[in-house]
Structure 1
Amino acid sequence: MTEAAIDIIKSQWLASLELQLGYSPYGTQLTKTKRCGPLTIQKAFYPEGRDCAHLYLLHPPAGIVSGDELQVKIDVQQSAHTLVTTPGANRFYRARTDLSIGDPKQTQVTRINLDVHAKCEHFPLETLVYNQANGVNNVEVRLHNSSVYCGWDMTCLGLPSSNENFTAGRFTQLNTLYCDDILIYHDKVLIEPESNIQHHAAGLASNTVFGTFLAYASTKQVSKEQRTQLIEQLRAIVDEHSASSLISITDIRQLLVIRYLGQQAHQCKDLFIELWKLIRPLYIEKQGVQPRIWFT
């Protein structure tokens, strides 16, 4: 191996974390953990009882730099239920431009697989994309038609409060969801210098924060009539918060797609939480009590 190749390896983190959750008479348990590099969890927590395991994904470097590649795989087996979140914001730092590091891309990929009657709630805190970053954030969900999934992502471009706007760089957010191996949702946002998506009226319209909240349950679990009524209730909550210009709600083949487009990460999170509190009792059959780590 050449010195240049060794320098590239030293300058990047290649990290992976594989988690498997199973269900037994003792409830949902973490049955397998395989990790490499600076990605880990402490343990499973049970603030709601043994049937739902709360997992906190930890990434001690607290950010992703050029050459880094993070791979997270979560396998939720039959009848198991987990809520996965993070203790803090994720960060895509400014990409390096020196050629010695090879590909300057910064990558995070999360793959979630749900078995029969499995339930997964995936709620990472916001992703901060620094000016001149070169980031890729992919979330792929594969579920059985009897499983339930609720998950969101929230992306913040630049640090406007510090007068550090996202004026140069590249970022891709890709969300895909499969049901019984059939693709039912594919959404890709690509921000790059060659496009005007940040400022075009049909793009981000000069907004710096965008988020997507997905919620899936089959018609056997949540009927079309229940879903229609739920959407009305969700829209009423949006109106109560005077956020109808910020939030849209659509129904795509049993998949609720809730989008936020605005200027404030905390506003996006607060609105998503309020909507989750309404969705969760119907989809998960539990009250929407926020994980304590969100308050720290």
Structure 2
Amino acid sequence: MPGTPAKKQTTGWQASLALHFSCPADKTLLQSAQHVGPLTVQRPFYPEGGTCHLYLLHPPGGIVGGDTLDITVRLEPKSHVLITMPGASKFYRSSGAQAHLHQQFYLEEEAILEWLPQDTIFFPGAQAALRSVFHLHRSSTLMAWELFCLGRPVIHEAFSHGTLESRLEVWLDGEPLLIERQHLAEGHLDPVMHYPWIGTLLFYPAREHHLEAVRQRLGPFEQMAGATLTENLLSVRFLSDDNLICQQVMRDIWQDLRPLLTDKTPYSPRIWQT
């Protein structure tokens, strides 16, 4: 209508990525990769035999208010996939619109998923909502982590305003093993004691000796880390102000547990060295 001010455009990328893996003959194949928008993957490669290594590419330049990204990963029986990213994910400042990232993972019998993304940076003023859900079969194996960075501590910039809502779920044969929520808003960072780095690692199936091995690796975090074992789900959490310590300890834990949970020796993705 004449004289009516135009509405502010808040719609951003509406992107989706659906990955489907199968293992017909001792080699995991990317059966299909359907994507809409700027979510995509590089060509799979096999540096250690039949295990599929895959790099996931987030939108160029990062994620902004109004963006909605949906990622679905399905592993058929006996599939073994390691997924990481070339660099950090970034949620930028928003004038009000929320950015959404939804991630769903489905593991069938004897499937192995190593979900090892690089860190996720939340710029001051970001309005971010994240949800990651892992659906496990009793015989499947999960090694997963997430590392959140609040603000840009390297330039002494805190997460002084904005909102982060995150939800992490693990389901086993349709029953919940873990449902965890976190809400940080407008600089009220008491729940994380104002530390800029928040880390979580998940391993299934785990036993007491795995728990003890992990606890020995948590020394660099002093009192700001802990590990628990609940119904064979090993959960590791920490707070830190040093990114290099975070990355080193996370990779050390993964390297320790990988040969214990699979028949594979540690094989670090080459992209981590660049």
TM (norm. structure 1) is 0.87
1:43 equivalent to 2:36? Answer: no
Q: 1:251 aligns with which of 201, 207, 229?
A: 229
1:126 aligns with 2:128: no
Deviation at 1:60, TM superposition (A): 3.9
Counterpart amino acid of 2:130? N
What residue is the counterpart of 1:234 in the other structure?
Answer: 214
In the alignment, what sits opposite 1:268?
Answer: 246
For structure 2, which runs of at least 5 residues remain unmatched after alignment? none
Percent of pairs with identical residues? 31
Structure 1: distance between partners of 2:144 and 2:61: 21
**CA deviation vs aligned residue, 1:162-208 (integer Å, no higher than 9, x gap):** 13211111001210000001011011110013x84x12xxx211211
Could you say which residue in structure 2 is the equivalent of 1:100? none
Q: Distance in 2 between matches of 1:274 and 1:8?
A: 42
Residue 59 of structure 2 is aligned to residue 81 of structure 1: no
> What amino acid is aligned across from residue 287 of structure 1 in structure 2?
T
Counterpart Cα distance in 1 of 2:9 and 2:165 = 27
Instruction: Tell me the residue number matched to 2:62.
Output: 63
Secondary structure of 1:30 counterpart: strand
Q: Is the 8 A contact 2:114 2:142 kept in 1?
A: yes
For 1:150, the aligned partner's letter is M
CA separation of 1:280 and 1:26: change in aligned 2, threshold 3 A: closer
Q: Which residue of 1 aligns with 2:179?
A: 186
Contact 2:64 2:93 in 1 (8 A): yes
**Contact kept? 1:79, 1:119, Cα under 8 Å:** yes
1:292 aligns with one of 253, 267, 270:
270
Find the aligned partners of 1:115 and 1:6 in 2 and give their Cα distance: 44
Is the contact made by 1:154 and 1:265 (CA closer than 8 Å) also made in structure 2? Answer: no
Q: In the alignment, which of 200, 203, 213 is matched to residue 212 of structure 1?
A: 200
Contact 1:22 1:29 in 2 (8 A): yes
- Confirm or deny: 8 A CA contact 1:126 1:265 kept in the other structure: no
Deviation at 1:139, TM superposition (A): 0.7
Structure 2 SS opposite 1:62? coil
- Partner deviation per Cα, 1:79-111 (whole Å, 9 max, x = no partner): 1010011110000100124xxxxxx00111111
Matched, 1:94 2:93: yes
Where structure 1 has 5 or more consecutive residues not aligned to the other structure, the ranges are 98-103
- Contact 2:21/2:79 (8 A) holds in 1: yes
**Aligned 8 A contact 2:221 2:240 in 1:** no
Q: How many residues align?
A: 271
Per the TM alignment, residue 7 of structure 1 is displaced from its structure 2 partner at its CA by 4.4
Q: How many Å separate the matches in 2 of 1:6 and 1:235?
A: 50
Cα drift, residue 22 of structure 1: 0.0
Which amino acid letter does the alignment assign opposite residue 56 of structure 1?
A: Y
CA RMSD of aligned residues (A): 1.9
